[in-house]
Structure 1
Amino acid sequence: MAFFDCHFHSDALGVAATMNVILPQPSTSQIGMAAQKHGAKHPTLLLLHGLSDDHSIWMRRTSIERYASKHGIAVVMPAVNRSFYTDMAYGPKYWTFISEELPAIARSFFPLAEERELNYVAGLSMGGYGALKLALTHPDRYAAAASLSGVVDIANRMQAFPQDAMLIFGEGAEVRGTASDLFHLAEQVVRSSQPSPQLYQICGTEDFLYEDNVRFRDYLRSIGLEAKYEEEPGQHEWGFWDRHIQNVLEWLPLPNRA
């Protein structure tokens, strides 16, 4: 695999932005690394960070480079600060950045596939919310989305972060039933004629977000939206996410698994 620490200007944010990118590099001489390549342009996983982290965290806390290598998949890991992947009421337009600008910029820099069938998104905690938000808002762009310990009920959870909620959504803003609400977005996908992305939801039973995840799982089932759901003993911590990002990579509908 090749690793890039990429710094670039974002028109959407109006400032310099950052992302880590790992790309497949087939080799017969890398010690201890399996490698494969699918074609001229790489299947791509957009991998999102949580509330207190940045673009570097997946590389620092997991072996994502080694895990991705055997699957022949590119991984793009951007930084969005504490934005909840949203155009902030009092801050930069991080939703525009992550949903529109970043994919175009990354593809202009690197040989990344554009087809829906070769694009996936995953994340942990706040990033799990961002992953599901992207895939449910744009089911025409993403074939699969995975949430690890995700903030799936943002209207409920943001009560614990009043300052962030005010900066992101505005004073007294109602989130439920809007384009920021995953329950609402899931219902919109069911009502549309577009194919649903494959969904994967995992949460530890001791995680403070566990009850929210169970409620979201049950809601998806009630509206007929299929999702793979897993739970096991675990808390909101990197040992759990390091194990389960490997499961996510095994689950992704890559071309050689058709």
Structure 2
Amino acid sequence: MPATVSKFSRPLAFIGLIFFSSLSLYAKTDTVKVYSEKMQKSIPNLIISPSEYDEEETYATVYLLHGAGADYTAWSGIADLQLFADTYKLLIVCPDAGVTSWYFDSPEDPQMQYETFVTEELITYVEKHYSTKQDRRFRAITGLSMGGHGALYLALRHQDLWSVAGSTSGGVDIRPFPRNWDIAKRLGAYADHPERWEENTVINMLYLLDGKSMNLIIDCGVDDFFYDANKRLHQKLEERNIPHDFIARPGAHNHKYWHNSIQYQMMYIANCFANNAN
């Protein structure tokens, strides 16, 4: 089937361009470019909808974030996202966030403003062009590694947008890694801007939670280099009596672990959506 191109009128903040769609405009997997006014560039995303997508219905949405060194296609190579969309009757959105953005609005790099992109520009686009439940009770966000950090970071800072947040193998404490994964390029060197590192690491942001309005699922393999940080995050959540699911099981920082873990996370998210509907 030849690729089809559809153009949309450009709103004030963004423009979308669908390059490819299997079967129809909104069926199955769309590759969508969303224009970011904040960064003055178009950003690709995957949007997976149920095979029996019906515009007369509305769907809950899961934002699924990739890790460092990857892009918006990464999760499609790890798990069968179409199966999740069909099983749980939801939309899955996989944004591109640059190789090492860490989902910050970087004070150092105007081309790395991915907090604004995901929380404002992308959500606005998705909910304008897809039939979604436009209510935080039916939005979730999760991701792996850098994306695990990103999912919790964005959810904690924008609790009006999501009711469920997850992380698998997440970099939930960036401070032990001052020379890794370009974090210093996003926040400045730790030696020069320690306050930025302290304020923008997930493990220090738990004061934002009231323990009532956010469903949390966190997992990490016990052989993962991020395991210690995830265990400390779990302990801090317990100390603050913040309900959450924490799973530690054999596994390392790799596709095999993530392929397994995302199945549990999707089931957890779908159960939260079902509870929120009652």
TM, length-normalised to structure 2 = 0.82
CA distance in 2, matches of 1:138, 1:186: 13
Report the counterpart of residue 109 of structure 2 in structure 1: 90
In structure 2, distance between residues paired with 1:127 and 1:240? 15
Q: 1:154 to 1:110 in 2, by over 3 A?
A: same
Deviation for aligned residue 1:38? 11
Shift of 1:25: 2.9
Task: Between 3-12 and 199-208, report the one with greater CA deviation.
Answer: 3-12
How far does the alpha carbon of each residue in 1:77-105 deviate from its partner, in whole angstroms, 9 at most, with x for none? 00011110001212421111112111111
**Residue of structure 2 in register with 1:245 after alignment:** 262
Q: Which moved more, 1:233-242 or 1:94-103?
A: 94-103
**1:69 to partner: Cα distance:** 1.3
Q: Separation in 2 of the partners of 1:64 and 1:23?
A: 9
Residue 45, structure 1, aligned to residue 71, structure 2 = no
AA paired with 2:75? W
What percentage of residue pairs aligned between the two structures are identical? 26
For the residues of structure 2 that align with 1:167 and 1:115, how far apart are their CA atoms? 35
1:7 matched to 2:27: no
What whole-Å deviation, never above 9, does each CA across 1:8-47 have from its counterpart, x for those lacking one? 32112211111000012328xxxxxxxxx89722100000
Q: Distance in 2 between matches of 1:39 and 1:246?
A: 28
Determine the structure 2 residue equivalent to 1:229.
246
Secondary structure at the counterpart of residue 64 of structure 2: strand
Give 1:87's aligned amino acid: D
* Alpha carbons of structure 1 residues 70 and 39: separation in structure 2 relative to 1, 3 Å: farther
Deviations along 1:218-246, whole A, 9 cap, x unmatched?
01111121110001110001111111111
The two structures have a TM-score, normalised by structure 1, of: 0.88
CA distance in 2, matches of 1:147, 1:240: 13
Task: Please give the per-residue CA displacement for 1:106-157, whole angstroms capped at 9, x wherever unaligned.
Answer: 2122112210110000100000001101111122221111100000102223
1:210/1:38 CA distance change after superposition, 3 Å: farther
Cross-structure match for 1:57? 74
Show the counterpart of 1:100.
Answer: 120
- Across the aligned residues of Structure 1 and Structure 2, the Cα RMSD in angstroms comes to 2.0
Structure 2 CA distance for aligned equivalents of residues 197 and 255 of structure 1? 15
Aligned to 1:181: 201
CA spacing shift, 1:183–1:38, aligned 2, 3 Å? farther
Deviations 1:33-65 (A, max 9, x none): xxxx89722100000000011000111222121
Pick closer, same or farther for the CA change 1:79–1:187 going to 2, 3 Å.
Answer: same
**How many residues in Structure 1 have an aligned counterpart in Structure 2?**
243
Match of 1:31 in 2: none
